[in-house]
A and B are shown apart, each in its own frame.
Chain A
Amino acid sequence: MTKKLLLGDEAAALGAVHAGIAAGYSYPGTPASEVMEYLIKASKEGGFQANWCVNEKVAYEEALGVSFAGKRSMVSMKHVGLNVAADPFMNSSITRINGGLVVLVADDPGMHSSQNEQDTRYYAQFARTICLEPSSHQEAYDMTRKAFELSESFHIPVVIRMVTRLAHSRGQIAERTKREKNKSRRAASKDWTLLPVNARRRFSSLMEKQPMLVKFSQGSSFNSLTLNKEDKKLGIIASGIGFNYVMENIKDMSPAPSVLKISTYPLPESLIKELLDHVKNILIIEEGYPFIEQNIKGLFGIKGKKISGKLSGVLPITGELDPDLVRKALKLKPLKSQDSVKDWLPARPPQLCKGCPHIDTFKALKKALESYPEAVVFSDIGCYTLGALPPYYAVDTCVCMGASVSMSKGGSEAGIHPSIGVIGDSTFIHSGITPLLDAVSKDRDMTIIILDNSTVAMTGGQPSIATGEKLENIIRGLGVDLRHIRRIVPIKKNLEENAEVIKEEIEHPGLSVIIAFRACIYEAIKRKKEQKK
């Protein structure tokens, strides 16, 4: 059988298709977006639902509905998306998952395209569930398939933890036979109605399952232990992408270390013990936080054993691993290479595209704020965050989805004037509606500028759920004073006029919403092409 050429994200998505999902749900976010893009393409032929949703919480809950009905579903998101979906995630492990539910989360160590590098393995542990961590494309495919079985046999959501390097790496997989979809099979209400009386029973049940989860982990063929019987000096524990970097370098090591590859959580205790009994020194190589290291080391370490890794400092505690860092941790000499010239090479950071509507909005905003040196511009997650960089220096914050609106209200209440929030259309729909409703209820003195470019641009132009008239209707419906809902068109020749509108609304001693409406240039090009067809 010919092998398939896929990104890590796509390999996992195909695993879900072949596991017989009835539905997939997601919100765009790098490095997880390609999972849903693949599912959407495969959905017609596969006869399943594949939808971009309003946000990750909604996506997760829709997947839960599918599980209740007895069918399989996958919800995918970037790591910080699970913060948004944390409520349904944590509670779903208390329910009795019916149709298999797999939660694919892509972490972004090194923060290529994110505001933090949180490690999803902690979430899996927090919810007392299983997490599988692939290190190759084949494993991404196989583990996703397996995750559905595990979810149905233990009645828990199962997490697949990806990282950027696998999500956005292209490789080959061998497909396996496709499984049929589940038939409808309604769940029992008492297992899903988390009133305290039921929740206590369900939580006990979850805790009773824990030894079985460890047993699964210990017996899983995704883990492997290779002991060097001849040498007892060094044992390496490696997980996920870290395992690849160990294998890249291991040929240069003599004597060869013993190696335990961990791909399943909760941790496979018996395998760790077997390695610990065999060697004196343990080196732990894992992408993300020192999760395994901390768990094994505990507070006081293990007598007679030296445990090293990110906590001990042989690997950096922040950022992404790479083959060179791991090579150094393995005490191997670096390969011969050419000298870096980074000391005089200028950086080339990402920037707003030529012709981007945000440029014109920021220019108008800067112009309007010339007479308000005390102004604070609370910003949000999207391309427009690049407005923080030169030559614009137009925004002061970027924390999490929707925070621009809520922080503007808090800022205003703390005496900041003008207190401005800038947020994109999709981010507004994701998490800006509720804080705007809050601001309406107090009519706070703040000005929200919605940068409506009618697409989710940063992640590659996925459709925005509400843009243009639909978006304006939502804002009207929230109860914003109609006289203070303004529209501007961010183009060069409107600079003066737009700055004037912004100034007028700053002067209004209550809540204003300005919608700066012009499509992302790539979206505009795409639409033109579609019209031609």
Chain B
Amino acid sequence: MKQDIVLAGVGGQGILTIAYIIDYAAQLSGLYFKQAEVHGMSQRGGAVQAHVRLSDKDIFSDLIPKGGADIILSVEPLESLRYIDFLSPEGKIVVSRNPYVNIPDYSDLDKVLGVVKQNKNHVIVDSKKLSKDAGSPKSQNMVMLGAGSLFMMLEEKLFLQSIKEFFKPKGKKIVDINIKAFHLGKEAAENSK
């Protein structure tokens, strides 16, 4: 049993935080995992991606092959398409419907979401609204993780434990917001099925 996940978004949206939280949940579960990311110049407001690989067997490559991803989870609609060729034909695509426009030639949103919808296993989430409902627009990444978690081979309680550990240094209020964001995202994904 294995699961390969491509995480996508824009620098500053907390993609690497999602990655870390999945890693830690995987660590708690006892599964093997590897997770590749890129730091430095490529992070400054540019496209950011991370590859997360979960398996009950030893994993070799840190990168997912094209066509090998079971899930694309993107905090930004357009960014999900940048890696669409990594998604297996049966793969699931979970994206935020809220564009992050910091480029002059941003594509037509309907066209972008149209490609997402061509996948029969797609989930589109209003992460902006749900993050505000949770208490902070910064929690969009946890909304999306909640939505994506619906398809992941890790139990919910492990995600919650991981989120708690990660945000603990920032205080209880921040922990609660992020837990709520996770639940709202998961609920939204369940309802859209």
For window 297-344 of A, CB contacts with B under 8 Å fall at 322-324, 327, 334-342, 344
Q: Which residue of the partner chain, among A30, A113, A338, A350, contacts B85 with CB atoms under 8 Å?
A: A338
Contact B46 A31 (CB under 8 A): no
Contact B82 A342 (CB under 8 A): yes
For residue B102, which residues in chain A have a CB less than 8 angstroms away from its CB? Answer: 348, 351
For window 209-263 of A, CB contacts with B under 8 Å fall at 241, 243-245, 247-249
Contact B67 A241 (CB under 8 A): no
For residue B167, which residues in chain A have a CB less than 8 angstroms away from its CB? Answer: none
Q: Which residue of the partner chain, among B35, B68, B78, B89, contacts A169 with CB atoms under 8 Å?
A: B35
Q: Which chain B residue shows the least CB distance to A381? A: B41
The interface-forming segment of B103-111, B126-134, B141-149, B183-191 is B103-111
Q: How large is the interface on A (under 10, 10 to 19, 20 to 34, 35 or more residues)?
A: 35 or more
The interface-forming segment of A119-127, A160-168, A402-410, A432-440 is A160-168
Main secondary structure on B side of the interface with A: mixed
Q: Does B124 interact with chain A (Cβ within 8 Å)? A: no
Q: Which residue of the partner chain, among A171, A327, A351, A353, contacts B34 with CB atoms under 8 Å?
A: A171
For residue A5, which residues in chain B have a CB less than 8 angstroms away from its CB? Answer: 23-24, 27
Interface centre among B23, B34, B68, B107 (most CB of A within 10 A): B34
Contact B40 A340 (CB under 8 A): no
Q: Does B81 interact with chain A (Cβ within 8 Å)? A: yes
Q: Does A172 interact with chain B (Cβ within 8 Å)? A: yes
For residue A344, which residues in chain B have a CB less than 8 angstroms away from its CB? Answer: 107
For residue A335, which residues in chain B have a CB less than 8 angstroms away from its CB? Answer: 65-68, 88
For residue B61, which residues in chain A have a CB less than 8 angstroms away from its CB? Answer: 244-245, 247-248, 323
Q: In the complex, A383→B43 CA distance in Å?
A: 11
Contact B62 A172 (CB under 8 A): no
Q: Which residue of the partner chain, among A337, A341, A383, A458, contacts B88 with CB atoms under 8 Å?
A: A337
For window 124-182 of A, CB contacts with B under 8 Å fall at 164-166, 168-172
For residue A338, which residues in chain B have a CB less than 8 angstroms away from its CB? Answer: 67, 84-85, 87, 89, 91, 119
CB distance from A121 to the nearest CB of B (A): 20
Q: Does A459 interact with chain B (Cβ within 8 Å)? A: yes
Q: How large is the interface on B (under 10, 10 to 19, 20 to 34, 35 or more residues)?
A: 35 or more
Q: In the complex, A349→B37 CA distance in Å?
A: 16
CB distance from A320 to the nearest CB of B (A): 9
Q: In the complex, A425→B106 CA distance in Å?
A: 35
Q: Which chain A residue shows the least CB distance to B111? A: A344
Q: Does A345 interact with chain B (Cβ within 8 Å)? A: yes
Contact B39 A31 (CB under 8 A): yes
For residue B84, which residues in chain A have a CB less than 8 angstroms away from its CB? Answer: 338-341
Contact A248 B115 (CB under 8 A): no
For residue A337, which residues in chain B have a CB less than 8 angstroms away from its CB? Answer: 66-68, 85-89
Q: Which residue of the partner chain, among B44, B63, B105, contacts A350 with CB atoms under 8 Å?
A: B44
Interface membership of chain B positions 34-58, coded 1 if the CB is closer than 8 angstroms to chain A and 0 otherwise: 1111111111111100000000000
Q: Does A493 interact with chain B (Cβ within 8 Å)? A: no
Q: In the complex, A150→B47 CA distance in Å?
A: 41
For residue B27, which residues in chain A have a CB less than 8 angstroms away from its CB? Answer: 3, 5, 172
Q: Which residue of the partner chain, among B19, B23, B40, B65, contacts A323 with CB atoms under 8 Å?
A: B65
Contact B41 A30 (CB under 8 A): yes
Q: Which residue of the partner chain, among B47, B63, B86, contacts A348 with CB atoms under 8 Å?
A: B47
21 A-B contacts, Cβ less than 8 Å apart? A112-B40, A168-B38, A169-B62, A172-B27, A172-B33, A322-B63, A335-B68, A339-B85, A340-B84, A340-B85, A341-B115, A342-B85, A345-B81, A346-B105, A346-B106, A347-B47, A348-B10, A348-B79, A349-B46, A351-B46, A383-B44
In the complex, given contacts A243-B60, A353-B12, A383-B44, what are 8 additional A-B residue pairs having Cβ atoms less than 8 angstroms apart? A31-B40, A112-B42, A322-B65, A324-B65, A340-B85, A345-B81, A347-B103, A348-B45
The 7 closest A-B pairs by CB, nearest first: A337-B67, A30-B40, A335-B67, A113-B40, A350-B46, A247-B60, A248-B61
